[in-house]
Amino acid sequence: MTKARPNQGPKQEKSVFIRTYGCQMNVYDSERMAGLLKPLGYQAAASAEDADLVILNTCHIREKAAEKIYSELGRLNKIKARRAREGRDVKIAVAGCVAQAEGAEITARAPQVDMVIGPQAYHRLPELLARTARDHGEILETDFAVEEKFDRLAAREADGPTAFLTIQEGCDKFCTFCVVPYTRGVEVSRPVDAITAEARSLAVQGVKEITLLGQNVNAWASPPPAGEAGEIWGLGELCRHLAKIDGIERLRFTTSHPRDMDEGLIAALGDEEKLMPYLHLPVQAGSDKILKAMNRGHTAGRYIDLIARIRAVRPDIAISGDFIVGSPGETNEAFEATLALAEEINYASAYSFKYSRRPGTPGAVMLKQVPEAEKDQRLARLQAVLEAQRQAFNKMQIGKILPVLFEKTGRHAGQLIGRSPYLQSVHVTAPKSMLGSLAPVRIEGVTPNALAGVLTPEGTKEGEAAA
C-alpha cells in the first residue's frame, strides 16, 4: 500500500489523498492520477483527514483485498460527514479493479462515494470531477479504452531514481481462478514510440532504473519504430531499444507469463547488460492436473525446462514466482507436486497465496473446493520451503561486491537503502549525497529482509567476489 507524498509547500486550495492497494500497476496508475490532478490545483495531502478529494485505488484479486475497501469506505464516510458539518465538501472516488468489477455494488453499499472509475477511465478524472461538482450525483465510469487513456495522460514527473512504466495492459489468458481479464480487459500493447518518449523523459529527470509493467508484460508486441528492423518486436527487442537511452542504467519487467517467454527475451536476459538478473515468472502450481484446470497453458515440466534455458544464458539470475495453494480439486498428491516443483526450481523469492474464490470466475463454481484449514496448512508448508530458499539466496551474496542503486534514506542516521541487481534491499552507511547513484557495495551480512554492506572502492562488476 502506498501513499501520495505529503504537501510540503504553502497551503494550497485543494488537496488529494490517494491510497493504493495491490500491484505495481496500481502504484503507476496512482502516480499518473496525481499528475493529472496537479494542473487542477490538487496537491498531495498528508492523510485522508486533510484531503478535499480521497481516491482509493483498489485491488480485486483476492476476496480480502476487495473487502478492505468497504471497511475503508466506512471510515471515509465518517470523515466526509464530519467535514460537511464544518462546511467543507470532501469527494470520495473509488478507482481500480474493485471499481471495475463492483461499480454498482459500491454505489449501493456506500452511497457517499462520488465517483467510481475503472482502471481504463482514470484519464477522465478532471472531467468527472467537474461533473460531480456540477451535478452532485454519483458517477460511474468503467468503459475500456486503454489507448485513449495513455494518449490523454499528461507528461509525468519522476520521483527518485527508479520508476514504473506501464507498457501493456489486460489479459487474454483467462486462468480459471483470476478476475484480471474481467477487470482490466483484453491484452493491449502500447506503441514503442510512446514508451520510448516516456522513458526518455524519465531519464532526463534523473531516473536510472525503469521497471516495465504489464499484467502479462512479456505478451507485449508492437511494430518497431520507423527505420528499425523487424516486423513485430517483442519485449526482448523493446528492452534492447530502451537500454540505448542515455541515463538509463537498469531495466526490469514484471509480471511475465511462462507461455510468453520467447527466444528473443531469453537471449536479451543473457546478453543485455542493462537488463537486471531477476525474473518474476509465476507458476501457480506443480501438478499438471491442476495447471490444466487453471487453464495455464503450460505443464510443470515446460516451466522447469524454461527456467533451465534461462539459467543457461544467465546463471546468476534470481527467479521469483507466484503460487496458489488449495485450488479446487487440489489433492494432497497435487500439493506435494507443488512442493517438489518449488524444491526443484530453488526460488530467490516468491509470493504464495491461498486460493480465493472470486465470483464470476470459472474456478468459483468448480467442485471439490478445499477447506480453509487445509489451505492454511498447505500454505504454511510451502512458505517454509520458499522462505528457506530466499534466506539461502540472500546468504549467497555475502562476500560479493554488488552494484547498488541508492533509493532512499534508512531508519538509522547515515543509512541509505538501495537495491541489488537481484532486487534485494541493501542497507549501507553512506552520505546522503549518494542518493540516486549506483555504487559498488561489499555485502557483509543479511537481516531477515535485507542485505547489509559497506561501500567499497573495489570493482563494480556485478556478483564479483571480493578479494
Comparing CB distances to ligand SF4, the nearer of 163 and 178 is: 178
Considering the rule CB under 6 A, would residue 173 count as an interface residue with ligand SF4?
yes
Q: Which residue has the cell 492454511?
A: 376
Residue 216 binds ligand SF4 (CB under 6 A): yes
Shortest distance in whole angstroms from residue 19 CB to ligand SAM:
19
Looking only at the bridges linking them, the beta strands covering 425-429 and 438-447 are: unpaired
Residue 446's H or E segment, with its range, is: strand 438-447
Q: Where are the beta strands (DSSP E) in 232-332?
A: 250-254, 278-280, 318-325
Judged by CB under 6 A, the number of residues near ligand SF4 is: 10
Applying CB under 6 A, which of residues 180, 213, 265, 325 lies at the interface with ligand SF4?
180
What backbone torsions phi and psi does residue 91 show, to the nearest 5 degrees?
-100, 140
Cis peptide before 196 (omega within 30 of 0): no
Instruction: Specify the residue for cell string 530453488.
Output: 346
Of 178 and 195, the one with the shorter C-beta distance to ligand SF4 is 178
CA-wise closest residue to 129 among 19, 14, 273:
14
Residues in the chain: 467
Stretch that binds ligand SF4, among 112-120, 126-134, 173-181, 436-444 (CB under 6 A): 173-181
How many CB atoms are closer than 10 A to CB 398?
15
Partners of residue 141 on adjacent β-strands: 117
- The partner in contact with residue 317, picked from ligand SAM, ligand SF4, none with C-beta cut-offs of 5 to 8 angstroms by kind, is none
| CB closer to ligand SF4, 143 vs 172 | 172
Instruction: Report the residue number, 35 or 181, with the smaller CB distance to ligand SF4.
Output: 181
124 touches which of ligand SAM, ligand SF4, none (CB within 5 to 8 A by kind)?
none
Torsion of CA 141, 146, 152, 155, to 10 degrees: 120
Among 21, 164, 335, 355, binds ligand SAM (CB under 6 A): 355
Residue 356 interacting entry, from ligand SAM, ligand SF4, none, C-beta within 5 to 8 Å by type: ligand SAM
Cell of 433: 549525497
Contact region with ligand SAM (CB under 6 A), list: 104-112, 173-181, 223-231, 262-270: 173-181
Residues 6+ apart with CB under 8 A from 209: 161, 162, 163, 248, 249, 250, 251, 252, 276, 405, 419
Q: Cα(274)–Cα(249) distance, rounded to whole angstroms?
A: 6
Nearer to ligand SF4 by C-beta: 76 or 307?
A: 307
> According to CB under 6 A, which one of 132, 183, 215, 338 is a site residue for ligand SF4?
215
State the Cα–Cα distance between residues 107 and 123, nearest whole angstrom. Answer: 21
Per partner kind, with CB cut-offs from 5 to 8 A, the member of ligand SAM, ligand SF4, none near residue 148 is: none
Using CA atoms, how far residue 249 sits from 208, 240, 313, in Å, is 5, 12, 20
**Listed ranges 236-244, 351-359, 423-431, 433-441: which one lies at the site for ligand SAM (CB under 6 A):** 351-359
Binding flag, residue 62, ligand SF4 (CB under 6 A): no
Residue 358 binds which entry of ligand SAM, ligand SF4, none, CB below 5-8 Å type-dependent? ligand SAM
Query: Cα 69 to chain center, whole Å?
Result: 19
Q: What is the sign of the dihedral through the CA atoms of 301, 306, 309 and 314? A: negative
Closest CB 259 distance from ligand SF4, rounded Å? 8
190 binds, among ligand SAM, ligand SF4, none (CB under 5 to 8 A by kind): none
Residue 351 found at the interface with ligand SF4 (CB under 6 A): no
Q: Does 184 bind ligand SAM (CB under 6 A)?
A: no
Comparing CB distances to ligand SAM, the nearer of 90 and 319 is 319
Task: Give the residue with the Cβ less far from ligand SAM, 257 or 400.
Answer: 257
Question: How many CA atoms, within 13 angstroms, populate the side-chain half-sphere of residue 161?
Answer: 21
Q: Is 149 in the site for ligand SF4 (CB under 6 A)?
A: no
Q: Helical H runs in 282-349?
A: 288-293, 300-313, 332-345
According to DSSP, the residues that pair with 3 across neighbouring strands are: 19
Instruction: Give the DSSP H/E element, type plus range, for residue 458.
Output: none
| Binding string, residues 7-36; x marks residues near ligand SAM by CB under 6 A | ----------------x-------------
Q: Could you tell me the CA-to-CA distances from 422 to 176, 200, 244, 309, 315 in Å, in that order?
A: 31, 24, 21, 19, 12
Collapsing DSSP to helix, strand or coil, 169 comes out as strand
CB nearer ligand SAM, residue 126 or residue 362: 362
Is 174 among the residues that bind ligand SF4 (CB under 6 A)?
yes
Provide the mask over 368-407, with x wherever binding to ligand SAM is found by CB under 6 A and - wherever it is not: ----------------------------------------
SS3 325: strand
Strand partners, 212: 165, 253
CB of 83 to ligand SAM, least distance (A): 35
Which uninterrupted H or E stretch holds 44? strand 42-44
CB of 50 to ligand SF4, least distance (A): 36
Q: Which residues bind ligand SF4 (CB under 6 A)?
A: 171, 173-175, 178, 180-181, 215-216, 257
Q: Which residues bind ligand SAM (CB under 6 A)?
A: 23, 61-62, 175, 177-178, 180, 215-216, 255, 257, 282, 284, 322, 324, 353, 355-356, 358
